[in-house]
Amino acid sequence: MFQKLTFYTLLMVIIPVIAWLSGWQWSGDENVIGIVDYPLYWLTETGSVPYAIITCVLLMLWLMYLTRQRYSWLLVGAICAGSVIGTQAIKTVAKHTFAEPRPYVVAMMGENTEQFYDLTRQARGELVAAHYQDSPYPLIAKHRENETGYSFPSGHTIFSVSWLLVFAGLLAGLTGQAVVFAKIFAISWSALMLISRLRLGMHYPIDLFISTLIAWAFHLVLFIWLVPYLENWTLFRKRG
């Protein structure tokens, strides 16, 4: 299991590493490519509240179906819920601990980012809306208006990589076209989620890198120690 989870994690780590090695930096909306960035906007919304709730339900039901012969639906549900709740709790604590501004906030406020974060969340949203009121990319501007929290770590990255690792862990050893398709989907969706956070000016490569490692460490504990323990519980034991 360690090797499997590490392999999928390395696939995601490649994205921020390539950004570093290429010297890529977000430089504002003048480099927005509509045919690329608008689809990335819609994809990144699958990890944003309230749409993330729908994403969680759909992915959990999909995993319950794919693993129906191996795990009880209660165990799959517990693993999915524990993954999302646990990693997002870590993200929330880390964001308020490190309090790093987002790239678009730095571009908008310059050296006055502390003043921005001293405002209430509603006031921040209003300030962002006013700044981008003439933006030719209203959907992207609206996304920033709703995403005025801190940058490090990336909640969207932790969310998507966590689901990727849940797919990897639960589907380990299973075969068939449906399983292969599910793994390819999870890899593609997660990778595009990471790319979207960079392209939309929401995160730095370091945010993605550390967030991916946080998800990896959490799921090592989940699948190597916790899941085998839970499988012995009568409540979670597969019947029939």
Q: Can you read off the two tokens belonging to residue 177? A: 């076209």
* Cα 185 to the center of its chain, rounded Å: 15
The type of residue at 172 is A
Q: Give catalytic status of residue 156 as yes or no.
A: yes
List the catalytic residue out of 96, 131, 143, 203: 203
List the catalytic residue out of 96, 131, 143, 156: 156
- Check: CB of residue 32 under 8 Å from CB of residue 140: yes
Q: Give catalytic status of residue 219 as yes or no.
A: no
Positions marked catalytic: 156, 203
